[in-house]
A = this chain, B = another copy of it.
């Protein structure tokens, strides 16, 4: 053990402590030696195999308890190729993936599986191919199956069952995503219903997730259904960093015939749009209505009044686990591509368009 001394200053505990003494792991050998039996006998006891005398079982059990022995998950999974562990692979734990994880954790209960989340956590540069690398390194050993929360799911087949959440197009693996197309439609329909006719789209960066084009399609489809020809000038691409979205929003809003509403295919860019609008002297929703596609439930906290299209992230995580468990049980999935509904949540950022859309002063648009 280690000894320590603590003092408290200003409500902060300061404790000085000697380095903790290291105790090495108790292995099956230790148990065998102490019980006076062979390793294989201990193994049999551990796994409830037949052919061990009751008295021996008792003795071994006693020693196991005495030593506090627990078998090594690693050694065991190297031998057996079953681990009863499901892995969820995420690039990072941020609000989006955290939400999925909550659902996954809920779904795993009672399945007999345990949940392990792997977060890559490296720099952006190493990102390429990490999902494949991780899956390779873990599958066959350590995890029985995986849920991949990652854009690029390698189509290369694995021995391990895999379910992908919100991946790129065309992946061969079973998939869970949300209805981006319908979500975008809902957003635009809502704006149309309020009387808007010039509706801008702040879309995602090119070559992004599959959901990007889907949202754009929904936007176009809703406009066309209302007899409006989409104006290419009203569609701009945002980016992953704030400044790209900011530029795009500014371009839209300083157009001579600017949109009276903007649908941002991403919650962060929706918030950016509101900021830009305010900086340009426009009021939301008086002069401009904004709807964001929600990736992050907390965005409603950041911008309490933002009307959003919400994805059922927890449910997506839950369904992914359920599907994987089916797969692991050797059953066929009734549907390999599950698409969950999105819904419109109306908050304060939308209103009818102004009778006479106020133009933004040119000075403003140049300023920055």
By a beta-carbon cutoff of 8 Å, the part of chain A in contact with chain B is: 1-2, 4, 6, 11-17, 19-26, 68-75, 77-78, 92-95, 98-99, 101-102, 104-105, 108-110, 113-123, 132-133, 136-142, 156-159, 161, 172, 174, 179, 181-182, 297-298, 300-301, 304, 330, 332-339, 341
B108 A102 Cβ-Cβ under 8 A: no
Given contacts A6-B337, A25-B159, A118-B115, whether A74 and B78 have CB atoms under 8 Å apart is yes
Contacts of A138 in B (CB 8 A): 73-74
Question: Quick one: which of A1, A113, A115, A300 has the most chain B CB within 10 A?
Answer: A115
Q: Would you call A181 and B114 a contact (CB within 8 A)?
A: no
A contacts with B: majority SS: loop
Q: What is the CB-to-nearest-CB distance from A75 to chain B, in angstroms, rounded to a whole number?
A: 6
Which residue on chain B has the smallest CB distance to residue A162?
B20
CB of A216, distance to nearest CB on chain B (Å): 17
Q: When the two chains form their complex, are residues A339 and B12 in contact, meaning their CB atoms are under 8 A apart?
A: yes
CA distance A283 to B92 in the complex (A): 43
Cα of A102 to Cα of B96 in the assembled complex, Å: 10
Task: Evaluate contact between B74 and A141: CB separation under 8 angstroms.
Answer: yes
Residue of B nearest to A15 (CB): B336
Chain B residue with minimal CB distance to A333?
A: B17
Q: How far is the CA of A186 from the CA of B113 in the complex (A)?
A: 43
Q: Which single member of B2, B16, B123 contacts A172 (CB below 8 Å)?
A: B2
Give Cα A116 to B158, complex, Å.
21
| A68-B156, A105-B94 given; A25·B137 CB < 8 A | no
Q: How far is the CA of A332 from the CA of B3 in the complex (A)?
A: 13
Contacting residues, chain B, for A333 (C-beta < 8 A): 17
Choose one: B132, B182, B338; the contact of A13 (CB below 8 Å): B338
How close is A347's CB to chain B, nearest CB, in angstroms? 11
Residues in B neighbouring A93, C-beta threshold 8 A: 98, 101-102, 104-105, 115, 117
Chain B residues in 8 Å Cβ range of A26: 136
Identify A117's interface contact among B116, B298, B334, CB under 8 A.
B116
Given contacts A17-B336, A24-B159, A102-B94, contact A118 B116 (CB under 8 A): yes
Which residues on the B side are within 8 Å of A99 (C-beta)?
Answer: 98
Query: In the bound complex, do residue A136 and residue B74 qualify as a contact, i.e. CB atoms below 8 Å apart?
Result: no
A23 contact from B14, B21, B102, B157, Cβ within 8 A:
B157
